[in-house]
């Protein structure tokens, strides 16, 4: 286990096998669009249990093409959690749609089914139902997807699971990413996530129609498939742009790293789970409340977040003190509606409490016991 003078809240783990996998691609004929990307997609499907996988250059790109594939456009509305990274909301704006938010559960920071239900009842009366809802699997734990899925059938919205934090997690004994209760699930492979491709993401689905749309959108809207062309020609060089798409493709270099990392995914999740349990034992007598873990799901523990009961001023003191002593705690997240760009005059009680009281402690597979002990020692020195 590697030791750091500064302990970050999250960090990638790159080993010899990863480096060799990337070097092998660097010595091959194809660095970008060769055979490794489709292989990574297949292995993601095998792991998560979905029929189709479309890997892209970021989770933000995955969110964008997922929204487009589901037909989100100007005049439509997308709802998501305010306690998330801004990409979960920006994907709606990229499509010209409007964005609104659903408050979280107070003890898990997951989208509240109760708040969602209340908001849907009112939206139906006002004629402002969402076209898409994006539940965020926060800190590695899945939302109550079965209940959200049942609401989608009642009110007619589509579901994109934002599982940027949650590859390797399970919900009701099913892998997150199986899309059992959603149209599309997206993953992130950013370096601080569970596994990494350097930067990258994936969209999982069980719909051939959606997979074909997203596949087209990630590569300029260009196809070589004769069945999708307007002018079918028997020339190997011929292709057509049939839709306005984007350069959202993942490279073979990134995919090779992803395949290598995927082999250790379960090992990483197990290590994170052990660290989370250790934190829980060490902090049980402190005025600190970890996020609740529900019994019908297994978290990937991307983040270890606690709430400081004494409030924002004490939380800020703890945050600053830990940073001054080389412990890179963080805060996930500022409610999206608070950012000046969104200009939303919203106050959501549970989200505001989370923002004022939460702090993210370091958790990653290679953190050593000495570093963990140091974190708890400094927490114990504080009121």
Annotated domain spans of the chain:
16-262, 265-380
Which class for 177: exposed (0-12), middle (13-18), buried (19 or more C-beta within 10 A)? buried
Q: Measured between alpha carbons, how far is 314 from 310 in angstroms, rounded to an integer?
A: 6
- Which residue spans within the chain are E strands per DSSP? 52-56, 77-80, 98-101, 132-134, 158-162, 170-171, 174-175, 184-188, 201-205, 222-223, 240-241, 288-290, 297-298, 304-308, 358-361
Three-class DSSP category at 22: helix
Per-residue confidence at 192, pLDDT binned at 50, 70, 90? very high
Sorted by sequence, the CB contacts under 8 Å of residue 212 that are 6+ apart come out as none
Helix and strand numbers (H, E) in the chain are 12, 15
Are 218 and 248 a contacting pair, CB within 8 Å?
yes
Per-residue confidence at 343, pLDDT binned at 50, 70, 90? confident
194 phi, psi to nearest 5 deg: -65, -45
The pLDDT value recorded for residue 85 is 98
* Cα-Cα end-to-end distance for the chain: 31
Q: Is the pLDDT of residue 302 over 70?
A: yes
> Hey, do 16-262 and 265-380 end up sharing a CATH topology, with the first three levels equal?
no
Structure tokens at 15: 């080993």
Q: Is the pLDDT of residue 202 over 70?
A: yes
Per-residue confidence at 234, pLDDT binned at 50, 70, 90? confident
Give the mean pLDDT of 347-363.
98
Helical packing angle, 16-26 and 252-262, nearest 10°: 150
Which of 8-12, 53-57, 256-260, 343-347 bottoms out in mean pLDDT, i.e. has the lowest? 343-347
How is domain 265-380 classified at the CATH fold level? 3.90.1150
Sorted by sequence, the CB contacts under 8 Å of residue 220 that are 6+ apart come out as 241, 245, 246, 247
The pLDDT value recorded for residue 381 is 63
Q: How many C-beta atoms surround the C-beta of residue 163 within 10 A?
A: 31
Per-residue confidence at 32, pLDDT binned at 50, 70, 90? very high
Structure tokens at 48: 């998560």
Mean pLDDT (the chain) is: 95
Which class for 75: exposed (0-12), middle (13-18), buried (19 or more C-beta within 10 A)? exposed
Q: In what order do the strands lie in the sheet with 358-361?
A: 288-290, 304-308, 358-361
Which class for 227: exposed (0-12), middle (13-18), buried (19 or more C-beta within 10 A)? exposed
Per-residue confidence at 95, pLDDT binned at 50, 70, 90? very high
Which residues face 60 on adjacent strands?
Answer: none
- Which residue spans within 319-367 are E strands per DSSP? 358-361
- Positive or negative, the Cα torsion across 371, 375, 273, 111? negative
16-262 belongs to CATH 3.40.640.10: yes
Question: What contacts 24+ positions apart, CB below 8 Å, involve 336-340?
Answer: 336/80, 336/82, 336/83, 336/84, 336/86, 336/88, 336/89, 336/101, 337/82, 337/101, 339/86
Q: pTM of the predicted model, to two decimals?
A: 0.96
Percent of the chain scored above 90 by pLDDT?
Answer: 90
């Amino acid at each position: 286990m590697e030791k750091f003078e500064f302990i970050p809240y999250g960090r990638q783990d790159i080993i010899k096998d990863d480096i060799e996998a990337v070097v092998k691609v660097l010595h091959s004929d194809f660095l970008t669009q060769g055979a490794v990307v489709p292989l990574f997609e297949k292995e993601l499907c095998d792991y998560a249990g979905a029929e189709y996988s479309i890997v892209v250059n970021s989770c933000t790109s995955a969110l964008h093409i997922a929204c487009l594939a589901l037909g989100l456009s100007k005049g439509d509305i997308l709802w998501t959690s305010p306690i998330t990274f801004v990409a979960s909301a920006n994907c709606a704006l990229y499509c010209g749609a409007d964005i609104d938010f659903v408050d979280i559960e107070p003890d898990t920071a997951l989208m509240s089914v109760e708040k969602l239900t209340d908001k849907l009842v009112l939206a139906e009366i006002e004629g402002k139902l969402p076209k898409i809802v994006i539940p965020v699997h926060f800190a590695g734990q899945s939302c109550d997807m079965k209940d959200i899925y049942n609401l989608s059938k009642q009110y007619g919205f589509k579901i994109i699971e934002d599982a940027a934090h949650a590859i390797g997690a399970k919900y009701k004994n099913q892998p997150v990413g199986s899309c059992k209760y959603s149209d599309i699930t997206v993953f992130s492979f950013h370096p601080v996530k569970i596994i990494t491709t350097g930067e990258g993401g994936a969209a999982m689905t069980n719909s051939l129609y959606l997979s074909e749309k997203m596949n087209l959108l990630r590569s300029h809207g260009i196809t070589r498939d004769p069945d999708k062309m307007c002018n079918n020609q028997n020339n190997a060089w011929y292709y057509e742009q049939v839709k306005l798409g984007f350069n959202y493709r993942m490279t073979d270099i990134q995919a090779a790293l992803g395949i290598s990392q995927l082999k250790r995914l379960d090992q990483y999740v197990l290590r994170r789970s052990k660290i989370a349990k250790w934190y829980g034992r060490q902090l049980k007598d402190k005025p600190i409340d970890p996020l609740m873990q529900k019994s019908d799901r297994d978290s990937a523990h991307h983040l270890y977040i606690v709430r400081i009961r004494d409030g924002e001023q004490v939380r800020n003191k703890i945050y600053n003190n830990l940073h001054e002593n080389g412990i890179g705690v963080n805060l996930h997240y500022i409610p999206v509606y608070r950012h000046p760009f969104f200009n939303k005059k919203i106050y959501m009680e549970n989200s505001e409490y989370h923002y004022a009281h939460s702090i993210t402690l370091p958790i990653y597979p290679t953190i050593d016991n000495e570093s963990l002990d140091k974190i708890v020692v400094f927490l114990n020195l504080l009121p």
